[in-house]
């Protein structure tokens, strides 16, 4: 029988929350991109960030009610993006600390950051439960 590991459950909660926030960020950027396309010729381009969006919105001075409403919605999306980015940054720091606290060296591997390491740890649990590496790999 496997022992209940509260730290792994907490780690899973944090990494799931980070995944949810990442999905929210993508949705927010997509909505913001759509709104900026309606407000500016050529839209926002690729790799939209809150800073780029703020710069673009500073140049937009709509006169119509529709334009003003669209701009206000874009401003709100930028605020949501800034808040989501801040929460993601905080969560990533928390995940890194939690992974290190477990004594894991997964983040030493190229391409494995705090979220990936936390996901592996949360999904796999205690690797000592496997008799050997072949059982783990299967």
Query: Per-residue pLDDT tens for 25-52?
Result: 999 999 999 999 999 887 777 889 999 9
- Torsion-angle region of 42 (φ positive above 0: left; ψ -120 to 50: alpha; else: beta): left
Asked if the model's pLDDT at residue 1 lies above 60, the reply is no
For residue range 57-107, what is the model confidence (pLDDT) as tens digits?
999 999 999 999 999 999 999 999 999 999 999 999 999 999 999 888 889
Torsion, Cα of 66, 71, 74, 80 (10° steps): -120
Cα–Cα distance for residue pair 98/93, rounded to 1 Å = 9
| pLDDT value of position 47 | 87
Encode pLDDT of 48-59 as tens digits: 999 999 999 999
Do 107 and 51 contact (CB within 8 A), yes or no?
Answer: no
Question: Residue 123, Cα to own-chain centre: how many angstroms?
Answer: 19
130 and 43 in contact (C-beta within 8 Å)?
Answer: no
Distance CA 12, CA 137 (A): 21
Query: In Å, what is the CA distance from 100 to each residue of 33, 40, 105, 128?
Result: 37, 45, 7, 18
pTM score, two decimals?
A: 0.82
> What distance in Å separates the CA atoms of residue 136 and residue 124, rounded to the nearest whole number?
9
């Amino acid at each position: 029988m496997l022992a209940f590991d509260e730290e792994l459950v907490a780690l899973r909660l944090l990494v799931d929350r980070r995944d949810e926030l990442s999905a929210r960020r993508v949705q927010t950027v997509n909505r913001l991109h759509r709104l900026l396309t309606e407000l500016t010729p050529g839209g926002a381009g690729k790799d939209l960030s809150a800073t780029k969006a703020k710069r673009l919105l500073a140049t937009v001075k709509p006169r119509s009610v529709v334009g003003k409403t669209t701009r206000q919605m874009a401003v709100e999306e930028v605020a949501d993006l800034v808040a989501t980015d801040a929460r993601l940054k905080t969560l990533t720091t928390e995940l890194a600390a939690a992974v290190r606290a477990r004594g894991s060296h997964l983040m030493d591997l190229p391409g494995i950051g705090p979220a990936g390491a936390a996901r592996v740890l949360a999904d796999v649990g205690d690797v000592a439960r496997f008799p050997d590496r072949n059982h783990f790999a299967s």
